[in-house]
Chains A and B, each alone.
Chain A
Amino acid sequence: MRNPLYLLFGVSLLALAGMKTYSGTPLFASKVNEAKVVPRTVRDNPGAYRSIYGVYPHYVGGK
């Protein structure tokens, strides 16, 4: 084995890529907030839910 470091490096990368490909994890995942406690009433009253991203600064650009 002439290149043990490269072999280890390559195998590690391929294993990582294999796992990520299998799980379907994108390389650059979008920022998502996970919340555990959301009442079932959201379905009945969607307006009662307050989004984490409700105050996101909107783009008003264009050339």
Chain B
Amino acid sequence: MTPASSGARIAGAQVKGLNCPSCGGALTVRGFEHTVSVVCPQCLCILDAKDPNLQILQKFKDKTRVTLLIPLGSRGIWQGTVYEVIGYQQRTTGEGAETYSWSEYLLFNPYKGFRYFTEYNGHWNDVRTLRALPKPAFGIGAKQRLQYAGATFTHFSTAQAATTYVLGEFPWQVRRGEKVAAKDYIAPPKILSSESTTAETTWSLGEYASGEEIWKAFKLQGVAPKPSGVYLNQPSPLVQKSKDLWRLGRTFLLIAFALLLAGFVIAPNEKVFSDSYHFTSGAGAEASFVTPVFTFKGRATNVEIATRTDLNNNWAYFNYALINDDTGQTYDFGREVSYYSGRDSDGAWSEGSSGDSVTIPDIPSGRYYLRVEPEVAPGVSRLDYSITVHRGVPVQSWFWLVSLLLLAPPLYMTFRRFSFERQRWQDSDYAVSSSSGDDD
């Protein structure tokens, strides 16, 4: 996906006339002495621009034309320099139905030289040839890595690319059907590419560019084609988003943890009542009773009522009513306690618990007592149990819920980020097949 080998570059153009020797059509040469090959825009013959007679290098019967997104002769200011589009070539890789083609636009400035715009499915790259060679780099995994200009590039794919269409002029002897072995290494948004022939290897460095910027720079009509899919060196828009979310998420979690600790510090957690009882079943006996009055001081907060029993393979039920002795305000609730255990062919088992606790929120201060009405299973003659009342017990459950909810957005963004990367590498030599494979 890089410019063709420049190995065939030779001395500058020495054209006598500017007419195609094949069809007589007028030729325009914009690259001055740099032009080595020129393509007749009428008959698409490739001509030798160094030859004073414009020798025909290649001639085609097929006159199929490719529509160029950037017309030849377009001028624009790119990175502060005026460039003119002087050549176009289409490169194709793959075989049969699995082929795909991309476009390469050759840009020229008499003082700055050449650069290229490559385009595939609306994805653009600004490419320049390298003057220095990249160095091998070490990394984990099977992918080869290269180091260049402080960045580490990871091997993406190796393929044979053929030139399938040309138009305009070129600083090398261009040929349709010319094949090179192309290797791509990526460090988004940059891409390092090599093109090798039997004679030499050419390296180029590309950087992902937006179609809108190119359209604006070259004042092209219409709008740039919308990019489709994920391109190999397309910068992931989710990397920064993910990092930002995690940074904020960490801060939120720290605050949530501080709230949890503060909850333990400020919670009164005061035992206000505790007593032990035993229940004896008997005909005509009144099971219900009330406790002595106890006092809740301070702000309204929760109250925890814990019941501990000596139940084993049985159940008990407690009708509770927490009653404000002054106002008559009553909080009525029932708690079941059951505990079963034993041993069977699977080993020992147990179910339930012989104790229970319930937390009632927002109980105002005041003088309270408990009305308790225990029930036990038929046949149980005695049950020993204790009741303990705590006021202002620390609550942890909100911390866990809030932490989970706070983690959800960064986790989702990380998932999307990895999905983006998985999609990127689907077109590489290291794609993970999602299907089990067909026999045919």
Bits for B296-331, please: 1 = Cβ < 8 Å to A, else 0.
Answer: 000011100000000001010101010101001111
Contact in complex: A16, B402 (CB < 8 Å):
yes
Contact in complex: A51, B319 (CB < 8 Å):
yes
Contact in complex: B371, A42 (CB < 8 Å):
yes
Contact in complex: A53, B351 (CB < 8 Å):
no
The stretch among B20-28, B152-160, B224-232, B259-267 that forms the contact with chain A is B259-267
Among residues 5 to 63 in chain A, which have CB atoms less than 8 Å away from a CB atom of chain B?
Answer: 6-7, 9-10, 13-14, 16-18, 20-40, 42-43, 46-47, 49, 51-54, 56, 58-63
Contact in complex: A59, B338 (CB < 8 Å):
yes
Contacts of B332 in A (CB 8 A): 32-35, 51-53
A3-B248, A14-B402 known; A21-B395 Cβ under 8 A = yes
Contact in complex: A26, B260 (CB < 8 Å):
no
B349 interface contact, C-beta 8 A: yes
Q: How far is the CA of A34 from the CA of B330 in the complex (A)?
A: 6
Contacts of A3 in B (CB 8 A): 241, 244-245, 248
B376: nearest chain-A partner, CB-CB: A58
Interface size class of B (residues with CB under 8 A): 35 or more
Contacts of A56 in B (CB 8 A): 317, 334, 336
Q: How far is the CA of A17 from the CA of B50 in the complex (A)?
A: 79
The stretch among B71-79, B108-116, B359-367 that forms the contact with chain A is B359-367
Contact in complex: B301, A23 (CB < 8 Å):
yes
Q: How far is the CA of A32 from the CA of B416 in the complex (A)?
A: 44
Contact in complex: B361, A25 (CB < 8 Å):
yes
A33: nearest chain-B partner, CB-CB: B332
Contacts of B300 in A (CB 8 A): 23
B406 interface contact, C-beta 8 A: yes
A-B residue pairs, 9 tightest by C-beta: A53-B334, A62-B340, A27-B397, A24-B302, A51-B319, A21-B263, A46-B288, A25-B361, A24-B301
New A-B pairs, 9, CB < 8 Å, besides A14-B259, A28-B397: A3-B244, A9-B409, A16-B402, A17-B256, A25-B302, A46-B286, A51-B332, A53-B332, A56-B317
Interface residues of chain B, those whose CB is within 8 Å of chain A, are 240-241, 244-245, 248-249, 252, 255-256, 259-260, 262-263, 266-267, 286, 288-290, 300-302, 313, 315, 317, 319, 321, 323, 325, 328-334, 336, 338, 340, 342, 344, 349, 351-352, 358-362, 369, 371, 373, 375, 377, 392-395, 397-399, 401-402, 405-406, 409
Interface residues of chain A, those whose CB is within 8 Å of chain B, are 2-3, 6-7, 9-10, 13-14, 16-18, 20-40, 42-43, 46-47, 49, 51-54, 56, 58-63
